[in-house]
Structure 1
Amino acid sequence: MNRTPYATANTVRTDAAPADALGTSAARTRSAELEKLIRDDPGRFRVLTGDRPTGRLHLGHYFGTLHNRVRLQDLGVEMMVLIADYQVLTDRDVADQLPRHVEDLALDHLAAGIDPARATVFTHSAVPALNQLLLPFLSLVSVAELNRNPTVKDEIAHSRQSAVSGLMFTYPVHQAADILFCKANLVPVGQDQLPHLEITRTVARRFNDRYGKEAAVFPEPEALLSSAPLLLGTDGTKMSKSRGNAIALAADADETARLIKGAKTDSERHITYDPDARPEVSSLVLLAALCEDRDPRQVADEIGPAGAGALKKRVTEAVNEHLAPIRARRAAYARDLGYVRQVLREGEARANAIADATLDEVRRAMNGHR
Structure 2
Amino acid sequence: MSTHDPVTPPAPDLSVARRRSAELKGLIATDPGQFRVLTGDRPTGRLHLGHYFGTLQGRVRLQDLGVDTFVIVADYQVLTDRDVAEHLAEHVEELVLDYLAAGIDPERSTIFAHSALPALNQLLLPFLSLVSVAELRRNPTVKDEIAHSRQASVSGLMFTYPVHQAADILFCKAGVVPVGQDQLPHLEVTRTIARRFNERYGANGPVFPEPDALLSAAPLLLGTDGTKMSKSRGNAITLSATADETARLIKGAKTDAVRRISYDPAARPEVSSLVLLAALCQDRDPQTVAEEIGDGGAAQLKKVVTEAVNEHFAPLRARRTELAADRGHVRDVLRRGNERANAVAETTLAEVRAAMGMAY
Superposition TM-score, scaled by structure 2 size: 0.95
Give the Cα separation in 2 of the matches to 1:22 and 1:247.
33
Pairwise mapping of residues 43-192 of structure 1 onto structure 2 (< 5 A)?
Answer: 43-90=33-80, 92=82, 95-192=85-182
CA distance in 2: counterparts of 1:352 and 1:79, whole angstroms: 15
Q: 1:303 aligns with which of 284, 293, 314?
A: 293
Distance in 2 of aligned mates of 1:249 and 1:219? 35
The C-alpha deviation readout for 1:35-91, integer Å capped at 9, x for no partner, is: 110000000111111000000000000000001100111111111110000111245
Report the equivalent of 1:32. Answer: 22
Q: Counterpart of 1:86 in structure 2: which amino acid?
A: Y
Instruction: Return the alpha-carbon distance in structure 2 between the equivalents of residues 189 and 90 of structure 1.
Output: 19
Where do 4+ consecutive residues of structure 1 move more than 6 Å?
none
Q: Which residue identity does 2:41 align to in structure 1?
A: D
Report the counterpart of residue 6 of structure 1 in structure 2.
none
Partner of 2:252: 262
Contact 1:82 1:122 in 2 (8 A): yes
- Output the CA distance in 2 between the equivalents of 1:199 and 1:41: 27
What is the CA distance between 1:93 and its match in structure 2? 7.2
CA distance in 2, matches of 1:64, 1:106: 17
- Kindly provide the CA deviation profile for residues 132-191 of structure 1, in whole angstroms up to 9, marking residues without a partner as x: 000000000100111111111111111132112111011100000000001111111100
Q: Is the 8 A contact 1:291 1:318 kept in 2?
A: yes
- Equivalent AA in structure 1 for residue 157 of structure 2: L
- Cα 1:262–1:94 change in 2 (3 A) is farther
Alpha-carbon distance in structure 2 between the residues aligned to 1:46 and 1:185: 6
Distance, in Å, in 2 between the alignment partners of 1:92 and 1:205 is 32
Q: Is 2:276 aligned against 1:286? A: yes
Q: Is structure 2 residue 246 aligned with structure 1 residue 218? A: no
Using a 3 Å threshold, how does the CA distance of structure 1 residues 308 and 354 change in structure 2: closer, same or farther?
same
* 2:4 equivalent in structure 1: none
8 Å contact from structure 1 (residues 86, 124) kept in 2: yes
Residues 82, 150 of structure 2: 8 Å contact kept: no
Equivalent-residue separation in structure 1 for 2:81 and 2:227 (angstroms): 22
Instruction: Find out whether 1:241 has 2:231 as its counterpart.
Output: yes
| SS of residue matched to 1:267 | coil
Work out the CA distance in 2 between the residues paired with 1:345 and 1:224: 28
Structure 1 residue 22 displacement after superposition: 6.0
Counterparts of residues 306-345 of structure 1 (less than 5 Å): 306-345=296-335
Amino acid at match of 1:192: D
Range with greater deviation from structure 2 (288-297 or 180-189): 180-189
Shift of 1:25: 2.1
Which one of the candidate residues 233, 248, 251 is aligned to 2:241?
Answer: 251
CA contact (8 A) 2:47 2:95 kept: yes
SS of 1:188's equivalent in the other structure is strand
| Preserved CA contact (<8 Å) 1:106 1:340 | yes
**How far does the alpha carbon of each residue in 1:268-308 deviate from its partner, in whole angstroms, 9 at most, with x for none?**
11000001111100000000000000000000010011111
Q: For 1:301 and 1:96, how far apart are their aligned partners in 2?
A: 45
Question: Is the contact between residue 54 and residue 94 of structure 1 (CA under 8 Å) also seen in structure 2?
Answer: no
Letter in 2 for 1:298: T
Matched AA of 1:276:
A
Superposed displacement of residue 368, structure 1: 7.3
Q: Residue 357 of structure 2: SS of its match in structure 1?
A: helix
TM (normalized to structure 1)?
Answer: 0.93
Report if the CA contact (8 A) 2:202-2:355 is conserved: yes
- Aligned-residue offset at 1:27: 1.6
SS at match of 1:237: coil
Question: Could you tell me which amino acid in structure 2 is paired with residue 143 of structure 1?
Answer: V
Q: CA deviation at 1:21?
A: 5.2
Equivalenced residues, count:
352
Equivalent pair of 1:47/1:77 in contact (CA under 8 Å): yes
1:207 aligns with 197
Give distance in 2, aligned partners of 1:22 and 1:345. 37
